[in-house]
Amino acid sequence: MGLALRSSNAQCSRIDLRARHGTPLFSDVGFTVGAGSWAHVRGANGAGKTSLLRLLAGLSHPDAGEVRWNGEKIGGEEFRRELMYLGHRAAVKEDLTALENVQFAAEMDGVKISEEQAQEALVRFGLAGREELPVRFLSAGQKRRVLLARTVTRPAKLWILDEPFTALDVKAVDFISHLVADHVKAGGMAVLTSHQSIPLPPGQVVDL
């Protein structure tokens, strides 16, 4: 018996957003990401990429327009279960070990994982031997890997990743790209920002 993935989509329509001082940040932005596809949100510094991703994740509200998940306004329990959001300024807990960080993040996502599962995730992210170190002793790229390990500890259909490649070396960029590509190939969805071109099969481009 195969695994039936219910077709799903995330859609934002005619979204307007103003900056705090009232000037329009962007207006009439709309796109749909369906199962098995991804979108690259592009724009200059300050164009509003992070702001748009926060709207998509339900962390803030647009001035006009709306974000929908399977046709319903976002915010419900189902949407939260299906969402994996990794913000631009997401931070590790410096005093916890890498292992504790992964377990803590899973717990925040409502999933209980064993030490072995957390360990396995860290090994997959190239952090073997660093599991027991308080993460303040890790490099910026290693901290980013600890954060990204969350993507394999909890299944979610929609990944919203803000600048996921920041501080990562070439090998890690390649690894994360494959991770996202496999997720999309398996019927998942992703919305990413990046100032670099993203080494993934072509996706939708959203220019701000």
Ligand X SMILES: Nc1ncnc2c1ncn2[C@@H]1O[C@H](COP(=O)(O)OP(=O)(O)OP(=O)(O)O)[C@@H](O)[C@H]1O
- Residues 112 to 141: which contact ligand X by CB under 6 A? none
Q: Is 40 in the site for ligand X (CB under 6 A)?
A: no
Instruction: Enumerate the H helices of the chain as residue ranges.
Output: 49-56, 77-82, 98-108, 115-124, 140-148, 150-153, 170-185
Q: Is 62 in the site for ligand X (CB under 6 A)?
A: no
The side-by-side arrangement of strands in the sheet containing 9-18 is: 24-34, 9-18, 64-69, 72-73
Q: Cα–Cα distance between 201 and 38 in angstroms, integer?
A: 9
Q: Is 70 in the site for ligand X (CB under 6 A)?
A: no
Q: Is 48 in the site for ligand X (CB under 6 A)?
A: yes
Q: Is 75 in the site for ligand X (CB under 6 A)?
A: no
Q: Is 45 in the site for ligand X (CB under 6 A)?
A: yes
Reduced DSSP (H G I as helix, E B as strand, rest coil) percent helix, strand, coil of the chain, to 5: 30, 25, 40
Q: Is 20 in the site for ligand X (CB under 6 A)?
A: yes
Q: What is the dihedral of CA 19, 23, 29, 35, to 10 degrees?
A: 0
Among 11, 16, 35, 47, binds ligand X (CB under 6 A): 47
Both structure tokens of 185:
């190939």
CB-nearer residue toward ligand X: 70 or 166: 166
Q: Is 201 in the site for ligand X (CB under 6 A)?
A: no
Q: Is 194 in the site for ligand X (CB under 6 A)?
A: no
Binding residues vs ligand X (CB under 6 A): 19-20, 25, 43, 45-51
